[in-house]
Structure 1
Amino acid sequence: MTATPAHTALWPAPHASGAVTATVHVPGSKSVTNRALVLAALAAEPGWLRRPLRSRDTLLMAGALRAMGVGIEETVSSSSAVTGGLVSGEAWRVIPSGLHGPATVDVGNAGTVMRFLPPVAALADGPIRFDGDPRSYERPLTGVIDALRVLGARIDDDGRGALPLTVHGGGALDGGPVEIDASSSSQFVSALLLSGARFNQGVEVRHVGGPLPSMPHIRMTVDMLRSAGAQVDTPEAGGEPNVWRVTPGALLGRDLTVEPDLSNAQPFLAAALVTGGTVTIPDWPAHTTQPGDALREIFTEMGGSCELTEQGLVFTGSGSIHGLDVDLSEVGELTPGIAAVAALADSPSTLRGVAHLRLHETDRLAALTKEINGLGGDVTETADGLHIRPRRLHGGVFHTYDDHRMATAGAVIGLAVDGVQIENVATTAKTLPDFPELWTGMLGN
Structure 2
Amino acid sequence: MTESSVHPALWPAPHATGAVDATVTVPGSKSVTNRALVLAALAAEPGWLRRPLRSRDTLLMAEALRSMGVGIEEGVGPDGSGEAWRVIPAGLHGPTTLDVGNAGTVMRFLPPVATLADGPVRFDGDPRSYERPLTGVIDALRVLGARIDDEGRGSLPMTVHGSGALDGGPVAIDASSSSQFVSALLLSAPRFNQGVEVRHTGARLPSMPHIRMTVDMLRAVGAQVDEPETGGEPNVWRVSPSALLGRDLTIEPDLSNAQPFLAAALVTGGRVTIPDWPERTTQPGDALREIFTAMGGSCELTERGLTFTGSGRIHGIDVDLGEVGELTPGIAAVAALADSPSTLSGVAHLRLHETDRLAALTKEINELGGDVTETADGLHIRPRPLDGGTFRTYDDHRMATAGSIIGLAVPGVEIENVATTAKTLPDFPQMWTGMLGA
TM-score category of the 2 structures, normalised to the smaller one:
over 0.9
What SS does the corresponding residue of 1:197 show, helix, strand or coil?
helix
Residues 194 and 340 of structure 1, relative CA distance in 2, 3 Å threshold:
same
What is the match of residue 407 of structure 2?
A: 414
Q: Of 339, 352, 359, which residue of structure 1 is paired with 2:345? A: 352
Instruction: Note the alpha carbon deviations across 1:47-68, whole angstroms, 9 max, x for none.
Output: 0000000000000000000000
- Give 1:241-320 correspondences, 5 Å limit: 241-320=234-313
CA distance in 2, matches of 1:127, 1:77: 34
What is the match of residue 72 of structure 2?
A: 72
Instruction: Note the alpha carbon deviations across 1:118-162, whole angstroms, 9 max, x for none.
Output: 000000000000000000000000000000000000000000000
Quick check: 1:51–1:91 contact (8 Å CA) kept in 2?
A: yes
What is the match of residue 203 of structure 2?
A: 210
Quick check: 2:178–2:349 contact (8 Å CA) kept in 1?
A: yes
Paired AA for residue 43 in structure 1? A
- Give 1:7-26 correspondences, 5 Å limit: 9-26=9-26
Instruction: Note the alpha carbon deviations across 1:149-204, whole angstroms, 9 max, x for none.
Output: 00000000000000000000000000000000000000000000000000000000
Identity %: 86
Quick check: 2:50–2:77 contact (8 Å CA) kept in 1?
A: no
CA distance in 2, matches of 1:9, 1:291: 31
Aligned residues: 436
What is the match of residue 337 of structure 1?
A: 330
What is the match of residue 133 of structure 1?
A: 126
Quick check: 1:7–1:423 contact (8 Å CA) kept in 2?
A: no
- Whether 1:236 and 2:202 are equivalent positions in the alignment is no
- Give 1:80-99 correspondences, 5 Å limit: 89-99=82-92
Q: CA deviation at 1:236?
A: 1.3
Q: CA deviation at 1:309?
A: 1.2
Instruction: Note the alpha carbon deviations across 1:381-440, whole angstroms, 9 max, x for none.
Output: 000000000000000000000000000000000000000000000000000011000000
What is the match of residue 49 of structure 1?
A: 49
- Whether 1:171 and 2:159 are equivalent positions in the alignment is no
Residues 283 and 239 of structure 1, relative CA distance in 2, 3 Å threshold:
same
Quick check: 1:184–1:359 contact (8 Å CA) kept in 2?
A: yes
What is the match of residue 61 of structure 1?
A: 61
- Give 1:151-190 correspondences, 5 Å limit: 151-190=144-183
Paired AA for residue 73 in structure 1? E
CA distance in 1, matches of 2:31, 2:129: 18
Q: CA deviation at 1:259?
A: 0.2
Give the TM-score of the pair, scaled to structure 2. 0.98
CA distance in 1, matches of 2:216, 2:77: 29
What SS does the corresponding residue of 2:191 show, helix, strand or coil?
coil
CA distance in 2, matches of 1:151, 1:78: 39
CA distance in 2, matches of 1:108, 1:75: 24
Q: CA deviation at 1:329?
A: 0.0
What is the match of residue 370 of structure 2?
A: 377
Q: CA deviation at 1:353?
A: 0.2
Paired AA for residue 55 in structure 1? S
What SS does the corresponding residue of 1:130 show, helix, strand or coil?
strand
Quick check: 2:4–2:419 contact (8 Å CA) kept in 1?
A: no
CA distance in 2, matches of 1:7, 1:273: 26
CA distance in 1, matches of 2:413, 2:167: 54
What is the match of residue 124 of structure 1?
A: 117
CA distance in 1, matches of 2:379, 2:225: 36
Residues 10 and 123 of structure 1, relative CA distance in 2, 3 Å threshold:
same
Residues 282 and 7 of structure 1, relative CA distance in 2, 3 Å threshold:
closer
CA distance in 2, matches of 1:188, 1:73: 29
What is the match of residue 96 of structure 2?
A: 103
Residues 333 and 4 of structure 1, relative CA distance in 2, 3 Å threshold:
closer
Quick check: 2:48–2:77 contact (8 Å CA) kept in 1?
A: no
What is the match of residue 39 of structure 1?
A: 39
Residues 4 and 213 of structure 1, relative CA distance in 2, 3 Å threshold:
closer
What SS does the corresponding residue of 1:335 show, helix, strand or coil?
helix
Paired AA for residue 66 in structure 1? R
Quick check: 2:77–2:85 contact (8 Å CA) kept in 1?
A: no
Alignment RMSD (CA, Å): 1.3
CA distance in 2, matches of 1:237, 1:90: 35
Q: CA deviation at 1:310?
A: 2.0
Paired AA for residue 245 in structure 2? L
Give the TM-score of the pair, scaled to structure 1. 0.97
Quick check: 1:6–1:424 contact (8 Å CA) kept in 2?
A: no
Q: CA deviation at 1:78?
A: 11
- Whether 1:424 and 2:417 are equivalent positions in the alignment is yes
Instruction: Note the alpha carbon deviations across 1:70-91, whole angstroms, 9 max, x for none.
Output: 00000136997xxxxxxx7100
Paired AA for residue 370 in structure 1? K
CA distance in 1, matches of 2:192, 2:225: 14
CA distance in 1, matches of 2:247, 2:54: 19
CA distance in 2, matches of 1:27, 1:260: 5
Q: CA deviation at 1:4?
A: 7.0
Unaligned runs of 5+ in 2: none
What is the match of residue 366 of structure 1?
A: 359
Quick check: 1:50–1:89 contact (8 Å CA) kept in 2?
A: yes
What SS does the corresponding residue of 2:344 show, helix, strand or coil?
strand
Q: Of 370, 388, 391, which residue of structure 1 is paired with 2:384? A: 391
What SS does the corresponding residue of 1:260 show, helix, strand or coil?
coil
CA distance in 2, matches of 1:36, 1:76: 17
What is the match of residue 84 of structure 1?
A: none
Paired AA for residue 132 in structure 2? R
Unaligned runs of 5+ in 1: 81-87
Q: Which runs of 4+ in 1 moved over 3 A?
A: 3-8, 77-80
Paired AA for residue 61 in structure 2? M
Residues 79 and 413 of structure 1, relative CA distance in 2, 3 Å threshold:
farther
